[in-house]
Amino acid sequence: MLQSKGYGATSADDALHHLDFQRRDPGPHDVQIQIRYCGVCHSDLHTVRNEWGNTVYPVVPGHEIVGRVVAVGNHVTRHKIDDIVGVGCMVDSCQRCDACGIGLEQYCENGFVGTYNGEEMHTGGMTYGGYSDSIVVHEKFVLRVPDKLDPAAAAPLLCAGITTYSPLRHWKVGPGQKVGVVGLGGLGHMGIKLAHAMGAQVVLFTTSPNKREDGLRLGADEVVVSKDAEAMARHQNSFDFILNTVAAPHSLDAFLVLLKREGTMTLVGAPATPHPSPQVFNLIMKRRHLAGSLIGGIAETQEMLDFCAEHGIVSDIEMIRMDQINEAYERMLKSDVKYRFVIDMATLA
């Protein structure tokens, strides 16, 4: 077994702290990665605090991983030693079901294996994530990080990037469309950059008036403070698509009424307690759609990384030391993230 060190939690009310644990030795199809950077996703916080009720302790979070290949199994063909690679939210799936067959591993009918807090297919143990010095992953779930991308700022693309890219592509966002992004955090700031690069007119909805300038700088054409009823009313019936990234329960009706006939609002935010049910009339009167979307498949994740390289897109990051992680979680809860924390794994003493 491979001795690893990292940061994790042993219970829901435990702060993150040093943890030593074991990973499997690389098998014939595995890549061993020395982790250089790991982004901090709100899902890490939900999981550490058992807000979704499914956490198995100890948990080592982190699914926005960028690092260097240090060993490969003898059947590995896609990656070689010293390559800069990425790992996102999944490290395995059944590879046999219909969903896996068309590159939608995130919807694997037998359940994909999460990068952390997932059940290992190989050893029967749990998976441990990127707040650590190394990781061992099947080569199929390892992404190439294009040279053009700064490796630290590329880390958040592995979750925040693909989670916003996939629905924007699925609902065919492009020129001539008016697209809303709700919430300016890790996912939201990537949603703005990507929708803007795809040619859409982008409107940011935020609860934080002080994020207006940043919203415009990141690529929004307009910023609306969602608590301002008059400003909201001016946008009624006008959106083709709204991407909702908010991590807390809120009124969906406030945004549904902004969709035009047959428009779609897709939820990617995953709050611990449910949103109040929307008014059915807000859906049926204009044949509007309310949808959800989960990360993205492996091939689509590579496509997103290549798209970002082509368009010069990375995340706006604030680099932190590993021992600043608990403070970073508190700031994330106050919507004080500009716009993704990334851990410099060299600081893991």
At its nearest, how many Å lie between Zn ion and the CB of residue 186? Answer: 8
Cβ atoms of residues 132 and 67 within 8 Å: no
Closest CA to 126 of 22, 3, 7: 22
At its nearest, how many Å lie between ligand NAP and the CB of residue 239? Answer: 17
At its nearest, how many Å lie between Zn ion and the CB of residue 41? Answer: 3
Q: Which does 337 bind (CB under 5 to 8 A by kind): Zn ion, ligand NAP, none?
A: ligand NAP
Cis peptide before 165 (omega within 30 of 0): no
Alpha helices (runs of H) in the chain, residue ranges in sequence order: 42-48, 98-101, 151-154, 160-170, 186-197, 212-218, 229-233, 253-256, 280-284, 298-311, 325-333
* Member of 4, 9, 33, 43 binding Zn ion (CB under 5 A): 43
Separation of alpha carbons 68 and 57, rounded Å: 28
Nearer CB in complex with Zn ion: 104/258: 104
Nearer CB in complex with ligand NAP: 27/111: 111
By CB atoms closer than 10 A (0-12, 13-18, 19+), residue 28 is exposed
Applying CB under 6 A, which residues contact ligand NAP? 41-43, 46, 159, 163, 183-188, 206-208, 211, 245-248, 250, 268-271, 293-295, 332, 335, 337
At its nearest, how many Å lie between ligand NAP and the CB of residue 107? Answer: 11
Nearer CB in complex with ligand NAP: 26/191: 191
At its nearest, how many Å lie between ligand NAP and the CB of residue 208? Answer: 4
Report in angstroms the alpha-carbon separations of 52 from 14, 135, 274: 16, 25, 11
Nearer CB in complex with ligand NAP: 3/326: 326
* Member of 16, 19, 41, 72 binding Zn ion (CB under 5 A): 41
Nearer CB in complex with ligand NAP: 26/215: 215
Q: Which amino acid is at 340?
A: R
Residues forming the site for Zn ion (CB under 5 A): 41, 43, 159
